[in-house]
Chain A
Amino acid sequence: MVDVNAVNLATNVLLLGALYSLVAIGFTLIFGVGGVLNLAHGAVLSIGAYSAVAVVRATGSVPLAAVAAAAGAGLFSLAFYKGMIRYARESPVLVLILTLVMGLVIEQVVLVAFGGQALAVPSLLAGQTEVAGQRLSNNRVFVFALSWLLIGGLFYFVNRTKTGQAILATSMSEKGAALVGIEADRVYTYTWILAGVLAGLAGLFLASFQTATPLMGRTPLLLSFSIVVIGGLGSIRGSVIGAYLISFLDQVTVTLVSTRLAGVSALVVLVLVLLIKPEGLFGRELAEH
């Protein structure tokens, strides 16, 4: 294929990897702490995106839209946990069905409310920046920076704050955590809110990077699956590394092999990891010191 520019490739991998990480972290957090495979995760992203769309339409303000994306998805996630998952948590099959159905319901509700047309969310930051002789849209750089800020913030929160450490403890052993007085239900609540907020923001970023569509959460859900399986279910560090690996493979495939194969690499890697190293690169742990 034509002119492959290594700087281009590296920047694309870097920028996309951060976004993929953000998409996957909420998913791995809920699994790592609560043991719940949240199949509605992709749909929560679209809640964030469409909350932003609604606010941008009403007010024209992008910062307000970002707040709405975080708050909308966070509140939904909280309600979903408190209203349903909490009661079904002991039955993994029921949880799977509930989250799957909830994901589909959200898609339909969004479809009815906003229609099937793809909608663009304005760039969070307009204009272009030149980096290493390469023009990059400010929006992508901003999304990259914000994603890393959020990932860094999450690392700090989990490892350094009392609530974060309670989450960590619960992820390692619910019984052990209970013995030292950590209330599991409260920890799960925090986790679901946190995952919802991260997913909502990732949804907004995705919408500003691509577009918002009712089914926009399906690819990210699949991507999250691949990423957290590669990284090891429940490991934040593994998710970040998995996200970068997928992003790298995706960009290389599209650039060097064929544009007809976009998105395929994630699935190939998923199958390979499941066959060769099913526990993933970093096993099952929430976070590492």
Chain B
Amino acid sequence: MSEIAAKAPARPRRRLIVSRFVPYLLLQALIVIATVLGLQLLQPSDPDDFALSGFSLREDGTTRPVTLPHFTSSRYSLADPPLYTGAFAFKNGDAAWSVFLPRFSNAVEVAINGVVVLDSRRDANANRPDRNTPEIAAIPSSLLHDGSNEITVRLFVWGPLKGFLDTVYIGPDAALRPAFETRTLLFVTLPVVFSAWQSILAVILAIMWLMRRREPVYGVLAAAMVLGVVQAFMPPPVPPGTVSRLASVLLASAPIESALIVVFGVLFFGWRWPRYGMLLFVPGLIVFAVGLIAGPPLPRILFLLLGIPTVGISLVLMAGVTAAAVVRRQDAASLTIGCAVTIVLTCWIHDMLSVFEFVTNERTFVSRLSYSAMLVAIGAGLTWRFARALNQVDSFAGQLVARVREAEERLKASFAREEARARAAALANERTRLMRDLHDGLGGQLISIVALSERGHEGATITDAARAALKDLRLVIDSMDDIGGDIMLALGSWRERAAMQLRPHDIKLHWRVATPQGLPLHPELRPWHVIQIVRILDEAVTNAVKHAAARHITVTIDTRDDGEGPYGVISVADDGGGFDLDGDGEAPDANQTARGLRNMRSRAARCGAVLDLSSDQSGTCVRLQLPQVFPDSDAAAG
């Protein structure tokens, strides 16, 4: 059961891979074929009428006839270079003649009838094995004479690549020049254009990265482009070079650059860069380090052994990354980059086949050119994506403003509703509380007054009941006031009322506040807490008046702290006769007293206070210990 469940999601995924990956692979195959065909078609045509391919080669002391194009062995010494000697016919009266060498590696020195007319070593760019720089040189007419003339070509080779000399063309300058121009355009001008383009994109991408540090993809691509530009304009690491060490360090640029492109691909398609991915930079760094330490030719050999394969691996990785992105996303960006990578990879394989002479062609290297083109395409694509993102942000911002306004309206409406509801609830709560408070005191007292007056009672009892009612009314009104959590303010009013109540009975009220600030502040204090506390104190005073025959009542207000925060203690002590706490005594109103005590206890419990009562012959003391924090709701005990 569970096995089926586990397999179920795998099947559509496999189907997805098949349905997307196979067409992609077929498309890439088509692109490979198109690239190969394109490379064949783009091969510049040379003026075959003036080709000179029969030469005799003197190399290492031996002379043998060879046919151009010709590969010669790799070597590391510039002394005694291979010397090609050939002959060509010249008829006086023709226009100016030139000698045209479409492809050679690494450098040539051409002499006509023993006079040197061309030395490519002076042209740093011409000496780069990764470029396909052509050379042309006008032959001074004074050098030529009717009939057979001799041409000698010294081929300077520096390893590890083999030397190569393509067919040499000698003929009227007008006939040779167009082929030279075409090659110059393709292999000299175009790379410069690409490099310039890259440098501009590098600046743009670097600025983007500087402004958006959390998107390293721009920075990586900018770094790759900067490396590419530097590499393109630096002289190659050849013996005549004046800064050969610096140049040999720059050999490392190609593998590092390709590794950067893989980083770019991984980041661009939203993967996490794996930690071991940094291994990809190791070959480039080794070449770099060796270039710093050792002079040529070691860096060049290492470059061939490490750098070139790294470029290949990077391209394959990049192809894999883009293929996966295509399968996963099916978007234009991944498809375009995927196709571009395939083209570059094809060109790279083409170059490798050429280097190792698996295919005999004219040793035209195209991977650098195609790679530059790819970088430019990627940079342009990124810029396009950035612009589109800006547009999206604009429209998103517009939508957002509208949505926020909408939400604001809704919120306002709901807030107003909520406020009205809360107000109504608060009002209802307040009414309930007020009703209960009035019911507890005033209501009962008024009813008692009605009953007393109906039974014809005279004076004193009715007066007492009415006074109690008025006192309670004042208490209820007072408790509604906001006292800011300071119980002392409520006690201040209570003191006045109590003093007024006690004066006719000739009882002295002593007021003792133990600490100058009174009681601790209670921000959570609510009217219902205050009213319970004051009613307890009222009850204590009333008991002292009615039952204890006291002469003095002492109210003590104190603040204690047992280490868990301060709390207040209010005690009401009288010097009366005391009473029996069990309530079964001989006092006629023992039941009433017991009820009063029960009432006081339940009121204290409602606001989280503790009531202690002690009574003996010397008097009664009611001790009310207030809580550190008053309870939120009086419903719990009420």
Q: Does A pair with B? A: no
| B residues neighboring A (CB under 8 Å) | none
| A residues neighboring B (CB under 8 Å) | none
